Chain A
Amino acid sequence: MSDVSPLPISKEIEEKDVVVIRFCGDSGDGMQITGSRFTQATASVGNDLATLPDFPAEIRAPAGSLAGVSGYQIQFSSREIRTPGDAPDVLVAMNPAAFKTNLADLKKGGILIVNSDAFNEENLKLAGYAQNPLDTEIVKDYDLYKFPITTFTTHALETSPLIKKDKERCKNFFALGLMYWLYQRPFEPTLEWIDKQFSKKVDVANANKMALKAGYYFGETTEAFKKSFRVAKAQLNPGTYRNITGNEATAIGFITAAQLASKNLTYATYPITPASDILHELSKHKNFGIKTIQAEDEIAAIGVAIGASFAGDIGLTGTSGPGVALKSEALSLALMMELPLVLIDVQRGGPSTGLPTKTEQADLLQALYGRHGEAPVAVVAPATAGDCFHMAIEAVRIATEFMTPVIYLSDGYLANSAEPWVIPDYDKIPKIKIEHPSNPEGFKAYQRNEKLARPWAIPGVKGLEHRLGGLEKQDVTGNISYDPKNHEHMSHVRANKIKGIAKYLPPLEVFGKNEGDVLVIGWGGTHGSITSAVDELQKEGMSISSVHLRYLNPIQNDLYGLIENFETIIVPEINLGQLVKVLRAETLRDIKAINKIQGKPFKVEELKEAIKKFAAENAAKNKKLA
């Protein structure tokens, strides 16, 4: 077999503008690999894309069970897109459980490809089917393709020395190959990847490669498909691109921040979904002066980061919501000691263990207020997977410039979703300037500069010996003080320091005009859905703009002026209404909320509908008043 994807012969090719594909199967079926390889191949042909991996919390729920279904959705297009798509055009279902849990999402008339081998008595029973659904009315609205993918795969691997069970495990690559043919993607990048991935298991590598090609050639040969599809290259902004997930961008962003600051970085953490990938990534990069510590618990992790920061490293800790709760006492200590520290919170469905692998934005109030006492810290939130890189640098910049803990709010969607990302020019990113005092003359541990930041004096420097602690400090000296007036003064100083950061933030970027009927305010991982919805509504003629807050404490001051220029203000969030509470309190405006809390991102359509409803209500009210 040749190692180059052949040009399709004889069959018709239909041009498509945008396609959404979802792969789903058992968590043991390799759906995440299938999806991420399809993503890589799609990136390489120059489509714009966005992905949504969706997997269960159970590592291996019983094979074939509904609980064990794992999915991966990708939207790719010849124009700019910002979300993984509302509903799939194509559903690849590897077993009855995946079929059952995903079918309802497939567009009517959509392509439905199933592995018919997996629709056996046992799997049907596990999925709760009394009879094979492929033989029922349920599939009549779809363009159904029943292929015995497992059988095809084992036949294709007849010459492979692998045992039957291992051959069958290659079926996801057969399905992937088939999809490569159907959407005219090259299989070379995947062949290379397989060689690298299975370099120590040559037989497995060869089998996977054979299965991939067999799937591709099957698509070309079979009479079942009358045509294949092509999605032209997108007209993306010029630049060099890579594919990146939020967790990758977060890790690389913090390494870059440490480099920009000419500092070592100590990352202390306790494994937790969906933040653990950041630990895995950072632990590979010791040659950038990165130290990673897997602590005994969440509290220890932030304690280590505080100690590292006191001693002069960039102290970083990372977790998800439950971990933030455990770290909150220590976070207060860091803010009382006024040490730079960044706490990454990759939010997931809560409370308690909640939905560990699903996304949510419900830790905002915890980040802003979830501590004892008057305890302000800076809070930032990346807007897209690629933006995680930039906001990581911002977090370190704020922490070190203002001598404060910073909470960095990512979420499960950003963490795992991938997007093409314009690689920034490192040389153009401003350096992070850090000064450690060395002159004992007149040194006072709590003497502040114009940003109200105290000096970052580190142990080892002669003459600067000082003590920090959680007890209230006397202004300037930092000595223990129980003076009531001093406590009030220091509480104000700590609050003003955080408020004052706003003066140094970049101006808000408005998507659309600076005035009009409707302003949508978002934050975090909803950027793609909100911007897409607003974009479409603008094109439909609505007077609507949006802003996305990447700084949540403090918020850029220009937001308050901007709000005055719009009649209807709407805040969509993946929670029951948290930012909206804050903005209502700050502005005393009747701000509307769109909320969803299903562990899933917003669909563009559902946002559009909700926005239209609020806009219409407002128009009706105005009419009444007139």
Chain B
Amino acid sequence: MGAENDIKPLTKKSFESDQDIRWCPGCGDYSILAFVQRVLPEMGIPKEKYVFVSGIGCSSRFPYYMNTYGLHTIHGRAPTVATGIKAANPDLQVWVVTGDGDALSIGGNHFIHALRRNVDIKILLFNNKIYGLTKGQYSPTSEFGKKTKSTPYGSVDYPLDPISLALGSEASFVARTADNTPKHLTEVLRRAAHHKGSAFVEIFQNCIIFNDGAFDPITGKEVRDDNTLLLEHGKPLLFGKDKKKGIRIKGFDPEVVTVGENGVTEADLVVHNENNPNPAYAFLLSRFNLPQFPVPMGVFRQSERYTYDGLLNDQVDTALSMGKGDIKKLIHGPSTWTVE
């Protein structure tokens, strides 16, 4: 990347497009956009190498606001288009921006297959547990019984957990953060940006119009310390204002214990290991929910695996290195005859 010498270092401003941002005032998307624009300059990768791809929904307007290459595609299909971009040019940095409806409902199939293939793309899922752009219907992550415009008697759809689904889809990087925890958001975005392979990040995002305060019981300032569990690699699973509560595992079942009570010491607690070869550990964490357990935030799992786009292009490069195809020979085929 010799061009780096003659350009000014990239800044947040370099990544801001000239388009007016049209999200509702107070929408959590603003904060996510700002932090993505803040993290990317740190990567030392030229701006023209970035492609932001989205589907349909509020979150999917994201590419218009990034001064990079971008595609605003169709509902649910962003991972497929992103896969095509990487297939053609694995050198590009491809980010998919999606929502709970886009990724998990109409695009569920593409979501799981992009993850299992480990295409080298970053997928940011803005989860606000509601359909915003269509004005307030329940989504695949809305809680059971939720009353919305389309479910005045309460939803009878059982929700799914994006982290559990991503882990079940063999994702090599799975993390969760929130739009109202700037430091944590920045750190998780940074981790995702550095991961080679599919990086999946669920971002709790507040929809101020149709589902305001949906995550207040988890990440609200007052309750955050007690109701979230910050995942830190190599450190014991501790939470609470004074970091006295922890997670211990008995058989297959986790339990919340208090350090210093009933003979419990820190040594009894689970030490977080992102690289645990057994995905069951990360899956167990993904099932943690209020009120029984704090909600884990951070990197659930990171593993190294060949990327699909890398392997695809390696096969082509290997074939080419063994001798470029002879087109005339191909057109001639295995057997010919001549008419004079």
Contact = CB atoms under 8 A, between A and B. Distances in A.
Interface of A: 40, 43-44, 46, 189, 236-244, 248, 252, 255-256, 259, 264, 266, 268, 285-291, 293, 295-297, 299-313, 315, 329-330, 333, 337, 389, 423-424, 426, 458-471, 479-480
Query: 8 tightest CB-CB pairs across the interface, nearest first?
Result: A307-B84, A303-B80, A469-B72, A311-B88, A286-B319, A304-B84, A467-B70, A459-B69
B73 A470 contact: yes
B110 A290 contact: no
13 contacts: A46-B339, A286-B316, A287-B324, A296-B110, A300-B80, A303-B80, A309-B84, A389-B331, A459-B48, A459-B69, A459-B92, A460-B89, A465-B70
B39 interface: no
B85 A465 contact: no
B49 A289 contact: no
Given A236-B339, A333-B74, A467-B64, A459 B51 contact: yes
A173 B109 CA distance: 46
A256 B331 contact: yes
A200 to B, nearest CB: 19
B63 A424 contact: no
A190 to B, nearest CB: 12
Given A307-B81, A423-B332, A43 B337 contact: yes
B84 A306 contact: yes
Contact of B81 (A296, A303, A459): A303
A242 B72 contact: no
Given A241-B337, A300-B113, A426 B328 contact: yes
A479 B110 CA distance: 28
Nearest to A45: B337
A388 to B, nearest CB: 13
Nearest to A304: B84
A562 B118 CA distance: 56
Interface string B96-110: 000000000000011
B120 to A, nearest CB: 13
B333 interface: yes
Nearest to B337: A241
Interface-central residue, A243, A286, A297, A312, by most chain B CB under 10 Å: A286
A242 B333 contact: yes
A465 B80 contact: no
Interface-central residue, B85, B88, B315, by most chain A CB under 10 Å: B88
Contact of B85 (A43, A238, A242, A459): A459
Interface-central residue, A239, A295, A310, A462, by most chain B CB under 10 Å: A310
Interface in B307-334: 312-313, 315-316, 318-320, 322-325, 327-328, 330-333
B336 to A, nearest CB: 5
A40 B315 CA distance: 33
A469 to B, nearest CB: 3
Interface residues of B, number: 61
Nearest to B106: A299
Contact of B87 (A236, A238, A304): A304
B67 to A, nearest CB: 6
Nearest to A468: B71
Interface string B24-60: 0000000000000000000000111111010000000
A293 B88 contact: no
Contacts of B89: 311-313, 458-460
A293 B315 CA distance: 12
Interface string B109-123: 110010000000000
B340 A238 contact: yes
Nearest to B67: A465
Contacts of B315: 286
B339 A303 contact: no
A462 B49 CA distance: 8
Contacts of A238: 339-340
Contacts of A302: 80
A610 to B, nearest CB: 34
Contacts of B86: 307, 311
B237 interface: no
B74 A330 contact: yes
Contacts of A237: 339
B229 interface: no
A296 B113 contact: yes
B320 A240 contact: no
Given A303-B80, A469-B63, A310 B85 contact: yes
A526 to B, nearest CB: 26
Contact of B338 (A241, A287, A291): A241
Contacts of A304: 80-81, 83-84, 87
Interface string B185-224: 0000000000000000000000000000000000000000
Nearest to A329: B74
B330 A255 contact: yes
Interface-central residue, A46, A259, A303, by most chain B CB under 10 Å: A303
Contact of A239 (B51, B110, B322, B339): B339
A426 B327 contact: yes
Contacts of B67: 465
A304 B87 CA distance: 8
A470 B74 CA distance: 7
Contact of B80 (A285, A286, A299): A299
Contacts of B332: 240, 242, 423
A461 B224 CA distance: 44
Given A40-B335, A426-B331, A290 B49 contact: no
A467 B320 contact: no
B278 interface: no
A256 B333 CA distance: 13
B230 interface: no
Given A295-B80, A309-B84, A311-B89, A242 B323 contact: no
B59 to A, nearest CB: 14
Contacts of B267: none
